[in-house]
Structure 1
Amino acid sequence: MNTSTEQITVKKVTTSRLPEVDFDNLVFGSTFSDHMFMCDFKDGAWQDATILPYGNLSISPAAKVFHYGQAVFEGMKAFKDEDGNVFLFRPEENFERINKSSKRMAIPEFPKALFFEALHKLLALDKDWVKGGLGNSLYIRPFAMATQVGVAAAPANEYKFMILMSPVKAYYTGDVKVTIAQKYSRSANGGVGAAKAAGNYGAQFYPTNLAREKGFQQVIWTDADEHKYLEEAGTMNVFFRINDTLITAPTSDRILDGVTRKSVLAIAERDGIETDVRRLTVGELVAAAKDGSLKEIFGSGTAAVISPVSAFGYNDEIFELEKPQDSYSERFKKELMDIQYNRAQDPFGWRYPIA
């Protein structure tokens, strides 16, 4: 059945796959809802915006995305409260960031009205895929990729913008053990570290695999020049609590401007917790771990929200962290999730209702 809206053609599934899904045993990002959004850039304009049943694409092996990595993405979530209402969390930030990433990768920016119309219509169609209950959510993956056929080393002139949705539970179920990078780097000055470019993440997999062979789940990335300054943790921004001060690296062209990171800083400021946005050295961290002033390390990101670090490794030494009774990570996670699931007031205006 095809129906037209002002901008988007909608092709609905005939039968939902929802009854086939075991929501108690989801593998993160492996199950997808009934519908997806697709829009093509050609002849200098975004066109043919369509919502259609989730399914495979037919794409040329010579599409430039495969050869030059012109691809960017975002991560968002939809939440359902106890009354069945659906909310997004700070979606304007995700929209602005995907266009910032696109600009850095020479991909045409996507129209705001079309982005939000696509989200509204997708979530209206697949509302039942958003399960209620703390920890349940619908992960939303907007992305853009170069589809022009040809292997000449130049930006493409044709692209595809898509949105997929995947029901998920918690990303990490326990604390994370990390190692501090001393050889490999996530990004460098003047590079694309501040963009959610696909290649950023692919380049992390090998050093992360090496870390896992040594018993760590993730890597805390350091600067590419000296491996002296602490920057990010795995695919997350990272926070360090030394005594009662919360420290995190400033954003730059190497460090992603995380939505959850911004939210943690805003909640900390509201709650009267001292924050210090500055470059923290590995030496300072190790000294704080040794003298007992290091209270917590945690990552922040859309998938995991807040992910506590139970131990870190450096120079073949392991530093264990005991979770304090007044845990900042637990506090921030609860306060963020209470806003996301409409369990508390939202003084920041972050909750975005879906009609």
Structure 2
Amino acid sequence: MSSLTYTLERRTDPADEATREGVLANPGFGKTFTDHMVLATWTSGEGWHDAKVIAFGPLQLMPSAAVLHYAQEIFEGMKAYRHEDGSIWTFRPEKNAQRFARSGRRLALPELPEEDFIASLKALVEVDQAWVPAAGTGETSLYLRPYMFASEAFLGVRPAAEVTYGVIASPAGAYFSGGVKPVSIWVSQEYVRAAPGGTGAAKCGGNYAASLAAQTEATEHGCDQVVFLDAIEHTWVEELGGMNLFFVKADGTVVTPELNGSILEGVTRDSIITLLREAGHEVTEAKISIDEWREGAASGGITEVFACGTAAVVTPVGTLRWPDGEVTMSGGETGEVTSSIRQTLLDIQYGKVEDAHGWLTRLV
């Protein structure tokens, strides 16, 4: 049971049906938001309180709010899926809630109890359920973005005594509008995403901000994404700017970089490890060097590489590029293991196959 009660202050000017249907016909990603949002407040004296669902709109924030100066904030990302019977579900929200709590501890933010986290998703989707795309419209969903930030108006360098929690929602179309296509990856030479003891394992905005210069560099070299190596030896593959990696070997075994404190523990990553093992693959969480990737791809020892995350689900990697060379995996095509695991995961999320693991939670 949730300890917070999310009161509803219904919007007086919601989007009309024609406007909403126009958005749902071509939602894109993160461009249009639903009519309402969740807000709750934490203070050192009262704890969590004032939980509500209100009209989506600007937040009032003092220029001295701690988040603007010290970046004390975290966030999560998940999707709501409409099934054929009209019901609406999300995927493993308890894992997101647990990671949200871990991220909060690392950023010296208060923990929101798991039951209150999940209740906030249900409260928002209940009132804005018309914004969840219809079943059978491809890989469409309602993207949910919980977040928390230091809202206290104070410039002292210490954990904030006032914090704001919120959830916003945005209809999302298929990540690959023209079908799944292998992406090209640039090996960052100068930048690292995170270091041991840092915030790499937390889902906080600073990690993403730190990746943008490297992403710009990747774009300048004609690549879609950037891959980061470890901060100490600049040898070991960690992750992309926002996705975990998997390597399929010629013998059918699969390797994914081990969690080391600077890699984000992805919910999709964890799910794929389980599904691959059930499909008969030996999956190892271990270090893999950039040289092993290059040489394995060139020799055929590594037959497929794919990245995974909430937004794109599973993304095949086609080309790995660095300043003086490049190598292409699977002939530039999407491999069989990549395609199979992607479809299996989607079928579970959209309710097309049995949810044998109890991974789905009904929102509406």
TM-score per shorter chain, which class? over 0.9
Quick check: 1:351 aligned with 2:349? Answer: no
Q: Is the 8 A contact 1:339 1:346 kept in 2?
A: yes
- SS of the equivalent of 1:203 reads helix
Counting only pairs closer than 5 Å after superposition, residues 159-308 of structure 1 correspond to structure 2 as 159-173=163-177, 174-243=181-250, 244-308=252-316
Q: Is the 8 A contact 1:181 1:227 kept in 2?
A: no
Q: Is the 8 A contact 2:316 2:335 kept in 1?
A: no
The counterpart of 2:140, out of the listed 116, 136, 144, is 136
Distance 2:138 2:85 in 1: 13
Partner of 2:18: 19
Q: Is the 8 A contact 1:44 1:157 kept in 2?
A: no
- SS of the equivalent of 1:204 reads helix
Worse-matched range after superposition: 165-174 or 244-253: 165-174
Aligned pair count?
Answer: 351
Distance 2:10 2:172 in 1: 23
Q: Is the 8 A contact 2:193 2:210 kept in 1?
A: yes
Distance 2:175 2:160 in 1: 34
Partner of 2:340: 331
Distance 2:223 2:241 in 1: 11
- SS of the equivalent of 1:206 reads helix
TM-score, normalised via structure 1 length: 0.95
Shift in Å at residue 234 of structure 1?
2.1
Give runs of ≥4 in structure 1 deviating > 3 Å: 323-326
Partner of 2:7: 9
Shift in Å at residue 121 of structure 1?
1.7
Distance 2:332 2:253 in 1: 16
Quick check: 1:70 aligned with 2:69? Answer: no
Partner of 1:36: 37
Shift in Å at residue 310 of structure 1?
1.3
The code of the aligned residue for 1:65 comes to: V
Partner of 1:340: 349
The counterpart of 1:97, out of the listed 92, 96, 99, is 99
Distance 1:96 1:269 in 2: 24
Describe the shift of the 1:162–1:280 C-alpha distance in structure 2 as closer, same or farther (beyond 3 A): same
Distance 1:69 1:331 in 2: 40
Partner of 2:322: 314
Partner of 1:84: 86
Unmatched runs of 5 consecutive residues or more in structure 1? none
Distance 2:334 2:221 in 1: 29
Deviations 1:244-273 (A, max 9, x none): 221101112100110000010000111101
Deviations 1:279-302 (A, max 9, x none): 001111111122122211111101
Distance 1:6 1:294 in 2: 49
Q: Is the 8 A contact 1:172 1:307 kept in 2?
A: no
Deviations 1:150-204 (A, max 9, x none): 2111111000000001100122443211011222100000001000011000110
* RMSD (Å), alpha carbons: 1.6
- SS of the equivalent of 2:25 reads coil
The code of the aligned residue for 1:134 comes to: G
Distance 1:279 1:20 in 2: 49
TM-score, normalised via structure 2 length: 0.93
Distance 2:222 2:24 in 1: 29
Q: Is the 8 A contact 1:79 1:86 kept in 2?
A: yes
